[in-house]
Amino acid sequence: MTTVTDSEVLRDALGLLRDREEVAERLLASSAKHSFDPDKELDWDAPLEDGKWFWPPELLSLYDTPMWRGMSEDQRIELSRHEAASLGSLGIWFEIILMQLLVRHVYDKPVTSNHVRYALTEIADECRHSMMFARVIQKCGSPTYPVPRLYHNLARVLKTVSTTPGSFAATLLGEEILDWMQRLTFPDDRVQTLMRGVTRIHVVEEARHVRYAREELRRQMVTAPAWERELTRVSCGEAARVFSTCFVNPKVYENVGLDRREAVAQVKASGHRREVMQNGARRLTDFLDDIGVLRGVGRRLWQSSGLLA
Ligand SMILES: [Fe+2]
Ligand SMILES: [Fe+2]
């Protein structure tokens, strides 16, 4: 039997803090080299291109359903314009929550540390991203798609009271699935140039955010007390359920002239859609499984979200 002495615990804790500073230092160096000002980087005056998609068709919720097969090409492209606006609106909602979580995270930490400096850098990135998403929604002439009031208010509670590991688990949920879709969007020449530019900028800057959140969550799942780890599993599972429910606002179907209820039912029954969402979540669910977040009730909530098989 091995016994852990106080000095070993202290050494491990110091090691984790050193690791935290080193990760943040690398992320700061990368931010200094590859950060973008979307207002200057993208050509906002260029007209939208006829016949081009606003999101890759295979990543649209209705793709390959009976309803999809009955739609004209123009109507499908119109759906892509609305779904892209719905995802952009979701992105802004999520980033505003994240900014508050990060501000809370650093409130008690040493202000000159790399870890705090990087958090502030990330908040600045998210400010630019949210403005970029709002600008692209406007440029495409699309409406905004807020999440249902209930979830808007549930998130108000989460962003105010969630503890550190829960905050970083929610961060990854919001970042990794959309990131997976954006990695397929920016190289796709069927897609509008402006959308490709927006997703390229987002992918480059989000890669650092994912790294920061993963490293912190991994440390937290080692150091947090048992009750907090369990709370993280449950709150993260519930967040996955809310996230998948809010992912595409059903109003998009109405706005392209489709029957909303029928469209929602067909998306729910679509094997292609389930596969897309699970593929999008896989990198994240593998990681969460690895660090012990996907257990018990939390795991069952993830399964009921449809993001985990
Ligand atoms: Fe972002
Ligand atoms: Fe981010």
Question: Residue 18's pLDDT is what?
Answer: 73
Could you say which ligand is closest to the alpha carbon of residue 133? Answer: 1
Q: How many residues does the chain have?
A: 309
In a domain, residue 158? The reply is: yes
* 52 within domain boundaries: no
Ligand nearest to the CA of 209: 2
Q: Comparing C-alpha atoms, which of 72, 62, 48 is closest to residue 137?
A: 48
Per-residue confidence (pLDDT) for residue 11, from 0 to 100: 63
Q: What pLDDT tens digit does each residue of the chain (309 aa) get?
A: 445 556 665 666 667 767 889 999 999 999 999 999 999 999 999 999 999 999 999 999 999 999 999 999 999 999 999 999 999 999 999 999 999 999 999 999 999 999 999 999 999 999 999 999 999 999 999 999 999 999 999 899 989 988 889 999 999 998 999 999 999 999 999 999 999 999 999 999 999 999 999 999 999 999 999 999 999 999 999 999 999 989 999 999 999 999 999 999 999 999 999 999 999 999 999 999 999 999 999 999 999 999 999
Q: Are 94 and 3 a contacting pair, CB within 8 Å?
A: no
Ion ligand 1: residues, CB < 5 A: 126, 129
> Is 64 within a domain?
no
Q: How far is the CA of 76 from the centre of ligand 1 (A)?
A: 27
DSSP letters for 272-286: HHHHHHHHHHHHHHH
Indicate whether 191 belongs to any domain: yes
- In angstroms, what is the span from residue 60 Cα to ligand 2's centroid? 22
- SS3 string, 59-111, reads HCCCCCCHHHHCCCHHHHHHHHHHHHHHHHHHHHHHHHHHHHHHHHHHCCCCC
Residue 131 CA to ligand 2 centre (angstroms): 13
- Per the domain annotation, does 102 fall within a domain? yes
Supply 206's token pair.
Answer: 């989000």
The closest ligand to the CA of 92 turns out to be 1
Q: What's the CATH code of the domain at 223?
A: 1.10.620.20
Query: What are the two backbone dihedrals, phi and then psi, of residue 45, each rounded to the nearest 5 degrees?
Result: -90, -15
94 CA → ligand 2 middle, Å: 9
State in Å: Cα 95 to ligand 1 middle: 6
The three-state (H, E, C) secondary structure of 22-73, written as one string:
HHHHHHHHHHHHCCCCHHHHCCCCCCCCCCCECCCHHHCCCCCCHHHHCCCH
Could you tell me if 174 and 243 are in contact, meaning their C-beta atoms sit under 8 angstroms apart? yes
Sign (positive or negative) of CA dihedral 294, 300, 303, 305: negative
Q: Separation of 208 CA from ligand 2 center, angstroms?
A: 8
For residue 77, the CA-to-ligand 1 centroid distance in Å is 25
**What is the rounded CA–CA span in Å between residue 4 and residue 260?**
59
Any domain includes 208:
yes
Q: What is the rounded distance in angstroms from the CA atom of residue 181 to the CA atom of residue 204?
A: 13
**CA 9–ligand 2 middle distance (angstroms):** 32
Q: Taking the CA of residue 125 as centre, how many other CA atoms within 13 Å lie in the half-sphere pointing to its CB? A: 26
How far is ligand 1, taken at its centre, from the CA of residue 83, in Å? 18
How far, in Å, is the centroid of ligand 2 from the Cα of 101?
Answer: 12
Q: What is the pLDDT of residue 248?
A: 95
pLDDT (0 to 100) of residue 158: 87
String of DSSP letters for 135-158: HHHHHTTPPP-PPPHHHHHHHHHH
The C-alpha atoms of residue 62 and residue 172 are separated, in whole angstroms, by 25
2: amino acid identity, one letter = T
What is the extent of the structural domain holding 256?
72-305
* Residue 228 pLDDT: 94
Query: Which 3 state secondary structure label does DSSP give 259?
Result: coil
Torsion of CA 217, 275, 243, 253, to 10 degrees: 160
**Residue 185 domain flag:** yes
* Residue 43 resides in a domain: no
Residue 273 CA to ligand 2 center (angstroms) comes to 24
Q: Which two tokens stand for residue 66?
A: 């009976």
Q: Are 247 and 308 in contact (CB under 8 A)?
A: no
Nearest ligand to the CA atom of 211: 2
For the chain, the domain total comes to: 1
In the prediction, which pLDDT does 2 show? Answer: 46
Nearest ligand, CA of residue 207?
2
Predicted local distance difference test score (pLDDT) of residue 1 = 43
**Dihedral-angle region of residue 71 (phi above 0 means left; psi in -120 to 50 means alpha; beta otherwise):** beta
37 CA to centre of ligand 1 in angstroms: 13
| Ligand 2 mean position, distance from CA 279 (Å) | 20
> Ligand 2 centre and the CA of 122: distance in Å?
7
Ligand with smallest separation from the Cα of 210: 2
